[in-house]
């Protein structure tokens, strides 16, 4: 996996000088990956790939299922074998796990907040550069719906597109006429009149950015049966339920990936299991 290889290259470089000096080459043992705060488990296959890239003889054993919610403290996995290898992989594996569990845990909180409604929580492209596949994977593990992966696999006409194209009608007609098979045309609209114009031009997917619940209810009443409605902008755990209760079909949240706090995950070697 290229991202794992790059991460190890920047951390290990030509070798772990500390372990080479302090840890006997023959030393083996078992370490535990410990969860120190409640979390949705995510990233164990990536952690396994890190340990395997450092030393294919290491034995990585998950102790909980990917996507499971755990209470702290808990053991996510164990890894056994060369202690030099385990220590060389430690920080890179924990960096992957901390971020991915943080995203999955944050996402699960939003998904649970709208439980009982028909509104889906959706991720965005506000991901860490180079990490998009993993960030969106973590959102999916947390229960969100993945939106387009990039600019190439989804059409979303935002305010700047509309301005550059000469308005809603021109932009939508051009997009609908040239859209590849299977790609719907989504349009960001700022008023009921703009929404009507977008639908008349052929769109059936509207983005409603930074609208109040009262405004969203009006859009739902007018267009909810004619188009997919997605709310976005300023969504937090404290207001996402109110947004979902308006009847919108989707709520997209950039904070799932750009603001999720990392989970507290640590690696601890079992002293009794160390063998020189």
Please report which confidence band the pLDDT of residue 275 belongs to, taking 50, 70 and 90 as the band edges: confident
Pair (97, 155) in one structural domain: no
Strands 39-40 and 69-70: antiparallel
CA separation for the pair 210, 37 (Å, rounded): 33
CA separation for the pair 159, 1 (Å, rounded): 37
Q: Which amino acids are annotated catalytic?
A: 91, 126, 158, 188, 209
Q: State mean pLDDT over 103-113.
A: 98
pLDDT, one tens digit per residue, over 188-222 is 999 999 999 999 999 999 999 999 999 999 999 99
Q: State mean pLDDT over 103-107.
A: 98
Pair (118, 250) in one structural domain: yes
The one-character DSSP state at 272 is: G
pLDDT of residue 270: 84
> Of 119, 160, 167, which Cα lies nearest the Cα of 143?
119
pLDDT, one tens digit per residue, over 116-150 is 999 999 999 999 999 999 999 999 999 999 999 99
- Residue 182's domain comprises 111-258
pLDDT of residue 260: 97
pTM here is: 0.95
Query: What's the angle, vertex CA 261, arms to CA 102 and CA 2, rounded to 5?
Result: 55
Pair (144, 252) in one structural domain: yes
pLDDT at 272 over 90: no
CATH of the domain at 20: 3.90.1170.20
CATH of the domain at 130: 3.20.20.70
Percent of the chain past pLDDT 90, that is, above it, reads: 96
**CB of 154 within 8 A of CB of 186?**
yes
Q: Domain count for the chain, please give it.
A: 2
Structure tokens at 248: 């919108």
pLDDT at 47 over 70: yes
Burial (CB count <10 Å: 0-12, 13-18, 19+), residue 154: middle
Please enumerate, as own/partner, the contacts of 11-18 that have beta carbons within 8 Å and a separation of 24 or more.
11/91, 11/92, 12/54, 12/88, 12/92, 15/88, 16/84, 16/87, 16/88, 18/87
Mean pLDDT, rounded, of the chain:
96
């Amino acid at each position: 996996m290229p991202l794992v290889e790059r991460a190890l290259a920047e951390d290990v470089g030509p070798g772990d000088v500390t372990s080479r000096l302090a840890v006997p080459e023959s030393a083996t043992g078992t370490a535990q990956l410990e969860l120190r705060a409640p979390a949705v488990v995510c990233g164990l296959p990536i952690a396994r790939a890190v340990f395997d890239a450092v030393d294919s003889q290491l034995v990585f054993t998950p102790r909980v299922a990917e996507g499971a919610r755990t209470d702290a403290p808990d053991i996510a996995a164990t890894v056994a074998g060369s202690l030099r290898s385990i220590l060389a992989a430690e920080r890179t594996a924990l960096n992957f796990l901390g971020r991915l569990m943080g995203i999955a845990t944050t996402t699960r909180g939003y998904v649970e907040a709208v439980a009982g409604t028909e509104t889906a929580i959706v991720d965005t492209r506000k991901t860490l550069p180079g990490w998009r596949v993993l960030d969106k994977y973590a959102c999916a593990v947390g229960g969100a719906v993945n939106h387009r992966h990039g600019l190439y696999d989804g059409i979303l006409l935002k305010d700047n597109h509309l301005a550059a194209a000469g308005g809603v009608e021109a932009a939508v007609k051009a997009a609908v006429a040239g859209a590849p098979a299977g790609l719907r045309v989504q349009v960001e609209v700022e008023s009921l009149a703009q929404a009507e114009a977008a639908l008349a031009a052929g769109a059936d997917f509207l983005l409603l950015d930074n609208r109040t619940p009262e405004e969203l209810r009006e859009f739902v009443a007018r267009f909810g049966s004619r188009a997919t409605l997605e709310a976005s902008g300023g969504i937090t755990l404290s207001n996402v339920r109110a947004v979902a209760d308006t009847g919108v079909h989707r709520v997209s949240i950039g904070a799932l990936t750009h603001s999720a706090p990392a989970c507290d995950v640590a690696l601890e070697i079992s002293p009794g299991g160390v063998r020189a």
